[in-house]
Amino acid sequence: MTASATLPILLVPDTRLRAKARAVGAADGDAVRDLAPRMLATMYAAPGIGLAAPQIGVTLRIFVVDLQKNEAPDPMVLVNPEITAESEAIAVREEGCLSLPGQYAEVARPARVRMRYHDLGGAKREIEAEGLLAACLQHELDHLNGVLFVDHLSALKRNMLLRKLAKDLRLKAQD
């Protein structure tokens, strides 16, 4: 992928990040097949391990993930994903987000999830995940519902993080 294939990533406080994405339908097939490789290129260039369509201003229920197992690309494209089961056990992991660059916080989520989705060919798939992959899948699914990882924090922590982001972005704009 060339750099020109990448897309601009929306940053908080862009209101489009709060929009709930609509389900991908049959008429969206060509657009989604065109979008997926560009989303992956954008995610790799950022660099990140996940990117949801709303983060690039597209309100479709699709996200991409790649944890680079064994340091080799292992991309997944999930269309119309939904969690079908989650553990009662909770795991706390540090999360960040390409839409909130440089900001990280501990987030508590179910430790294991089962997710149903469609692949780019339209086939139904299911994945069971734990650890980093489970957190990543839940984080990206949140984006499809207009939810950011900071929404899982206390109001105090969320406000501190958002103020720090605003300051960092102001300083970057001055450079």
| Catalytic (active site) residue 86 | no
Q: In the chain, where are the structural domains located?
A: 3-174
d(CA 153, CA 51): 21
Q: Are 119 and 127 in contact (CB under 8 A)?
A: no
4 pLDDT band, cuts 50/70/90, is low
Fold held by 3-174: Peptide Deformylase (3.90.45)
Q: Is 31 left (phi over 0), alpha (psi -120 to 50) or beta?
A: alpha
pTM: 0.94
pLDDT tens digits for range 45-103: 999 999 999 999 999 999 999 998 888 899 999 999 999 999 999 999 999 999 999 99
- Which one from 94, 126, 128, 140 is the annotated catalytic residue? 140
